[in-house]
Chain A
Amino acid sequence: MTWFLVHFAQIVFYCLAAVALAGAVGVIAFRSPVHAALSLLGTFLAVAGVFVLMQAEFLAAVQVLIYAGGIMVLFLFVIMLVKARDIPDEPQYVRRLVPAAVILGVLLAALVGVGLWAASSGPPADGAALRLVAGAPLGNTEAVGWSLYRDYLLPFEVVSIVLLVAMIGAIVMGRKETGRGGAA
């Protein structure tokens, strides 16, 4: 009974990790793009759960709000508009990608291995660092705000300019041609 209470966080973590991995496998295993998008949604939600376990509740909420609630909805919107059910399989195209996939896979495995080694050789992470503002524990929202708007203000602003440029580009490309000659 007490064993359950003590190890509650670990049990939850392994459940969430299993869901996230299963979702990730589903994204590439499902034939139907809608099913793939749904399993990606499962992964997003499970990762949000892991953020909560790490005491990073702001990141969890933003993960759900932006990725699950915004970006994936737009993906689904596009998938449904192109009627993906009718797209035939193209095995020869997939076969050409095999060498690239092998190289990428090896690189990714190396990256994960180095990450695991670095993590296991350092002190165990407890998530408390995600709540520190200038050394004092305040909360995850405050900590994210502090590091974005104080420590990393310039990169943050540069990234928002990049996003703005992308947005304007999309609008310009998506605009209907007006019959007046001019800029269109």
Chain B
Amino acid sequence: MANPWVAFLLVPLVKIVVILLAVILLAAYMSFFERKVLAYMQIRIGPNRVGPRGWLQPIADALKLLVKEDIVPERAEKLVYFLGPVLVVVPALVVFSVIPFGPAFKLFGYEVTPYLTDVNIGILFILGVSSIGVYGVILGGWASNNKFSMMGGLRSAAQLVSYEVPMGLSVVTVLLMANSLSLVKIVEAQKQAGVWYVIPGIVAFFIYFVCGVAETNRNPFDLPEAESELVAGFHTEYSGMKFAFYFLAEYANMVVISSIATVLFLGGWLPPFPNWLAAVWALPALAWIPPIAWFVLKMAAFLFVYIWFRGTFPRYRFDQLMDLGWKVFIPVSLVNLMAVALGVLLIGGR
């Protein structure tokens, strides 16, 4: 890599293109997966017309959204109305730049890292960037000049700000155990400890994932877009490509939450139970499986749980949602944080 342009521009550009394509495809197929799984949960068949067994359905949906007429309400704030989808989709995709999908490996003699960059404040970067995504929802709801959109935007603002707090607190417990903010180092710390953080941090894990569901506006916390009350909430007025952006961002954010849960609590790309049950379970037999496959598998499990939630739980009422966030999750995660800190002090060799 003598030429600085190769290291400085070409390699990152290729990685960016690969990651973006993978995420967008994954988001599209996530919608297909969701419709299929929900269908089977409700003893239906689900989409099965486009392509073999319906496998081309997401492509057809994407094409339809691309060529659909883009309607802008006459009394909308044009600039902010346009900014809304952009502000929601850009953070959702930018976050993928620091998620480590696997360890560094050799390819044609070069060391390749299957992530764009490993910043030493990785997890803070993710929390910060994804907190920008709220603006897309609030501003989109406000600029539509429609009371349902407005209500959806306001609900979303209150919900996201409330659930960010317990989410942050549960992330801090992992940081205490790993002693680092870098996502790669967090995974490596779990390898060294010989245990995934889901075991010492079971409470934090539970709170993190439930808050993640709330942060992505998914069932049972999908109040900002509750169909039965608000038509479609903040994106009522959006159509065509702008709607597709909201849609893409929602699914990309689910992938983000699942990826971070995998990295923080399930050991990222590590195979199941490092060191731990190795004697019981003939694990070397699994050694040929590439680390990225483990990562994707764990992430997919979380994505399935998302859909499972949607197929199972009724929607919360707004006051119940706020009660759960402020009166249950915040106190519990504060106590849990103290307990984990004490544990790290007593057991951890610092």
Contacts and interface: CB of A to CB of B under 8 A. Distances in A.
Majority SS of interface residues in chain A? helix
A61 B131 contact: no
Contacts of A34: 77, 80, 139, 142
Nearest to A140: B121
Interface stretch (B23-31, B152-160, B199-207): B152-160
Interface stretch (B122-130, B188-196, B333-341): B122-130
Interface string B146-183: 00001001100110110010000000000000000100
Interface in A36-66: 38, 41, 45, 48, 57-58, 61-62, 64-65
A145 to B, nearest CB: 11
Given A61-B125, A77-B138, A70 B164 contact: yes
Contacts of B52: none
A131 to B, nearest CB: 10
Contact of B124 (A32, A61, A72): A61
A61 B138 CA distance: 22
B134 interface: yes
A41 B91 CA distance: 14
A57 B121 contact: yes
Nearest to A77: B157
Nearest to B157: A77
B108 interface: no
Contact of A73 (B124, B128, B134, B150): B134
A76 interface: yes
A173 to B, nearest CB: 18
A58 B127 contact: no
A133 B4 CA distance: 32
A139 B164 CA distance: 25
A62 B125 CA distance: 9
Interface in A128-146: 139-141
A74 B161 contact: yes
A33 to B, nearest CB: 11
Interface residues of B, number: 30
Contacts of B288: none
A65 B8 contact: no
Given A70-B161, A70-B164, A64 B129 contact: yes
B121 A77 contact: no
B119 interface: yes
Contacts of A141: 120-121, 181
A139 B131 contact: no
Contacts of B119: 57
A84 to B, nearest CB: 10
A102 interface: no
A69 B120 contact: no
Given A38-B139, A57-B121, A77 B132 contact: no
B131 A76 contact: no
Contacts of B131: 64-65, 68-70, 73
A58 B124 contact: yes
Contacts of B80: 34-35, 38
B247 interface: no
A4 B163 CA distance: 43
Nearest to A72: B135
Interface string A69-97: 11011101100110000000000000000
Contacts of A118: none
Contacts of A76: 135, 138-139, 142, 157
A140 B86 CA distance: 31
Contacts of B160: 73
B120 A41 contact: no
A103 interface: no
B150 A80 contact: yes
B135 A80 contact: no
Contact of B138 (A1, A32, A80): A80
Q: Which of A2, A73, A141 has the most CB of B within 10 A?
A: A73
A68 B124 CA distance: 13
A5 interface: yes
B125 A77 contact: no
21 contacts: A34-B139, A35-B80, A38-B83, A41-B135, A61-B121, A61-B124, A61-B127, A61-B128, A64-B131, A64-B132, A68-B131, A69-B131, A70-B131, A70-B164, A76-B138, A76-B142, A77-B154, A80-B153, A80-B154, A81-B154, A141-B181
Q: Which 6 A-B pairs have the closest CB atoms?
A: A69-B131, A64-B128, A61-B124, A65-B128, A61-B128, A77-B157
Interface of A: 1-2, 5, 32, 34-35, 38, 41, 45, 48, 57-58, 61-62, 64-65, 68-70, 72-74, 76-77, 80-81, 139-141
Given A34-B80, A45-B132, A61-B128, 20 more contacts: A5-B4, A34-B139, A48-B128, A57-B119, A61-B124, A61-B125, A62-B124, A64-B128, A64-B129, A65-B128, A68-B132, A69-B128, A69-B134, A70-B164, A73-B134, A73-B135, A73-B157, A76-B135, A77-B154, A80-B153
